[in-house]
Structure 1
Amino acid sequence: MTQEPLSRDELRRYGRALLVPEWAEGAAQERLRAASVLVVGAGGLGSPVVQYLSGAGVGRLGIADSDTVSVSNLHRQTLYTTADVGHPKAQVAAARAQQVNPHVQVEPLPALDPTNAATLGRFDLTLDCTDNFEARYLINDTCVQLGRRWVWGAAGGSEGMVSVFGPDCTLRSVFPTPDGAESCETIGVLGPLLGVIASLMSAEALKLLGGVGQPLEGQLLTYDLMSGRFRRIGLRTER
């Protein structure tokens, strides 16, 4: 299908991205504009992801979260301010995304659970930005049923991980169960670590939606903030 040319305002808005040869060739920006993304979780990972994807010009953006902003969120959840404390994260995040880019259609949604998991089917790509193991495996299993790829990220303490999963290599391939896994509520997290992992997740989304580069399918990228080291690990497939 032929993509509609970018408007004058869009050309100005995305001008720096369009200077990147790999992005400018093949109408990647137009493909991004035609795409829809669901960000599940509007916390430490979801906040920068929402900012990057709305700024980049994804066409339709869903933000699923039922939590409210608390003071303890503010050191790492970059979308929110002290004035937002007590307000629903999805609503605040949607309003900020719309302020960043009025060309993006933004939809705040309730948190994902077994009763509404079919919501994932309404979007081209899902980004798992949760800190909830039940939600993580629900996203995994639903995307497998739908035959969809999705971007996964996790961070805690001073270490984080990113991958692109799909029907041939899933979260359960790497972590069959969440046994022994800990959340930020128990081990803490440093704010900049979440920014690094969220940036990597956003980059994977742009590659997948724009049809450029080599996404991290079948690979796990880890980052250690304290040493500044990245490590790439090959993953086994299920087929």
Structure 2
Amino acid sequence: MLITSILNITYIVRRSVSHNNHELIQTSLTTITSNTQITNSSNQTKSSNKNDDIFQETYKNILNSFTDNYMEISNKKNKSSNYCPAVPPDLQGPLNIKGLPENFSLLDKSLYHPEVQFGGRYQPKTCLARHKVALIVPYRERWEILGHFLFHTHTFLQRQQLDYRIFVCEQAYNNTFNKGIVMNGCFKEILKLEPNTSCFIMHDVDLLSIDDRNMYTCPKYPRHLSVAVDKFHFYLPYVELVGGVLGKKK
């Protein structure tokens, strides 16, 4: 505000001086009759007008630049004040894996997840999500397992207050299933649909999180989210491979 005030005062003073100069020049034009003197006065007027134009243009550029920067900072500040808490308040910790309800359907809007939009998209309603996440789920011929995965995963991801969408990616034709190609192809298609997505979770369809404190977000470096699986007695059976659930920034 101080800077804009100084600019405004400078502008007013400059305009006042310019206006007085114009009055003096106009007076001299009415009292001097020499053609040469009139020409000189006219040149002074043009020079003064040019200087005024330069000053006004500079003033406008500085003021517009300051206004744009100030508004951007202000908007970011207002936006940051609406972010969801860094630690979501409704996390439950260890989860009991429940069976799939009989009336749960993959073809209709779920009564169990009314906030989930068509296409598997969810955004918190009370705050601005800190993370925009896409889950890539390679899939083929595992309908019941897919239903169980979606029912469970939608439930705990909403508690993590993420702006997320689950993409179920199915391989065409009956060729040998290639999970890597499916995930790569899905990744490229997501960038076309939602290019501002910054976090990608590669997720096997047969893995369910048993603790919602295992945050489905992407730090600076890739994160292996399935290092402890009950099938392997919660020990990592391999040290050189990454599989199951992997989070990675774009």
- Structure 1-normalised TM-score? 0.31
- Structure 2-normalised TM-score? 0.30
Rg larger for = 2
Higher strand share: 1
Higher helix share: 2
